[in-house]
Amino acid sequence: MHFVFSPPADTAAGLLSLPWREPLEGWTDDRLVEIRQRGLSRHVVRFVADEDVVYALKELDDRLARREYRLLRALREMGMPAVEVVGVVVDRPGDLDAILVTRFLDYSSSYRALFANARDGLTTGKLLDALVELLVRLHLAGFMWGDCSLSNTLFRLDARAFAAYLVDTETAELHASLSEGQRKYDVDMARERIAGELFDLRAAGHLAEGEDPIAIADDTVRRYEALWDELTREELLHPEDQRFRIAERLRRINELGFDVDEVELVDAGEHGSRLRVRTRVAEPGHHRRILFARTGLGAEENQACRLLNDIASFRGYLERESGRPVGDVVAANRWLTEVYEPVVRSIPEDLRERLHEVEVFHEVLEHRWFLSERAGRDVGTTEAARDYFAHVLPEVPDDLTETARTARPLNDS
């Protein structure tokens, strides 16, 4: 029996004492927990909590497990939004299948949980936008998913939107680049899978009345094609508007959350030049990288953008108060200690696991705007937080997201 763990391997050292020589389905270890946000799987999947971390264990054929381990590692190394692979256990005794180990994505939701616990403003379109962006990023990286679906994706709340993470790569392939046929296959497969999943939701009474699964699946394809076209199409530019058009195209790409790696102008004779843009294959993160560098906070991209805006506003306040310029680092650190941390510390203990603390802070800012509009004055972050904790956060379903602390032991009655 061989254990292969991704570095740093010591983070999962406690898993070595699990009963790897037994079939996964028959395990009775005390560390087994129930995860509400799990999706459907054709394989046996169990969850284990160790040192405040939840791990997903999937039993499957040795060859497929080794392949999925390599693919998930490659995706993480490229900075793609995917679950973190921890290791793989192969050559188990008695012809037992291998077990792939991944880290469960904290504060994530399955699509079923999101539809069953719908919140205001979190529409089907926003969910599909997140899935489409993930698929486009994968295709730009030469990754053919082969089984794109809502079930094979986990979603994190991201400032009243979603961030999508790939979970399953059993049927995936990694190439230098994808052909049109490979992309079309993936998109057609996604359309078929999404329609089927939405029909299941409708049968369970979780799809809003009037929403047509086929129309939504077709709209997903349109969203994908529009995003792919914006990121990859060639444009014919006339010399007189060349500079403006290039700047405008790059601005649109950046606003979509993508970075530009290379801009190429190809002479087209008397017609001008052809603009080719190569989009950088990377995890969405321009704003999240800046936020992390200045504050050490980990956030999704939209959350980071919102928090950076609040830091900029706070910096303006500091400059007005002091009458002199305040640097980015100084403003960010004072904002962290004087604004952000007091709000986070004041989250009621029994509500602390409802949402990630960054999402809570974003919602407090949104609530502050709402209360200020109603009062005709700026109510301030402290008052907004107090009202939000009293009236809004308690209404967030307690099974919308999952963490190590909210996962329930299997023997918990």
Q: Report the alpha-carbon distance of residue 283 to residue 52 in Å, rounded.
A: 26
Average pLDDT, the chain: 86
Q: Answer yes or no: do 225 and 307 share one domain.
A: no
In terms of average pLDDT, the best of 101-110, 295-304, 332-341 is 332-341
Residue 132 lies in a domain: yes
Give Cα 114 distance to the centre of its chain: 14
Distance between CA atoms of residues 144 and 123, nearest Å: 27
Of the ranges 15-29, 48-62, 119-133, 262-276, which one carries the lowest mean pLDDT score?
262-276
Summarize the chain as % helix, strand, coil (round to 5). Answer: 50, 20, 35
In a domain, 379, yes or no: yes
Structure tokens at 53: 């971390």
- Mark whether 177 and 80 lie in a shared domain: no
Decide if pLDDT at 44 tops 70.
yes
Residue 113 sits in a domain whose CATH number is 1.10.510.10
Same domain, 147 and 203: yes
Could you give the angle at the alpha carbon of 265 between the alpha carbons of 263 and 268, nearest 5°?
155
Structure tokens at 229: 């076209």
Overall number of domains in the chain:
4
Is residue 98 domain-shared with residue 190, that is, in the same domain?
no
Q: Distance from CA of residue 145 to its chain's centroid?
A: 16
pLDDT tens figures, 57-96 = 999 999 999 999 999 999 988 888 999 999 999 999 988 9
* pLDDT of 232: 84
Whether 164 and 97 share a structural domain: no
112 lies in the same domain as 228: yes
| Any domain includes 136 | yes
Q: Please check whether residue 410 is in contact with residue 43, taking contact to mean a CB–CB distance below 8 angstroms.
A: no
Contacts of 152 (CB under 8 A, 6+ apart): 39, 145, 166, 167, 168
* 116 shares its domain with 97: no
Spatial distance between the Cα atoms of 152 and 156, rounded to a whole number of angstroms: 14
- Length of the chain, in residues: 413
Residues 6+ apart with CB under 8 A from 383: 368, 371
pLDDT band at 284 (very low <50, low <70, confident <90, very high): low
Establish if 212 belongs to a structural domain. Answer: yes
Q: What percent of the chain has pLDDT over 70?
A: 89
**pTM of the prediction?**
0.83
Residue 413 has pLDDT above 50, yes or no: no
User: Which is nearest to 312 in space by CA: 335, 341, 284?
Assistant: 335
Pairing, β 173-174 against β 260-267? unpaired
Work out the angle between the directed axes of helices 301-322 and 286-295 (0-180°, nearest 10): 50
Domain ranges, residue 12? 2-105
Picking from 171, 154, 157, the residue whose alpha carbon sits closest to that of residue 56 is 154
Establish how many alpha carbons lie within 13 A of residue 248's alpha carbon, considering only the half-sphere containing its beta carbon.
Answer: 7
Residues 101 and 144 in one domain: no
Residues 206 and 122 in one domain: yes
Does some domain include residue 406? no
pLDDT at position 269 over 50: yes
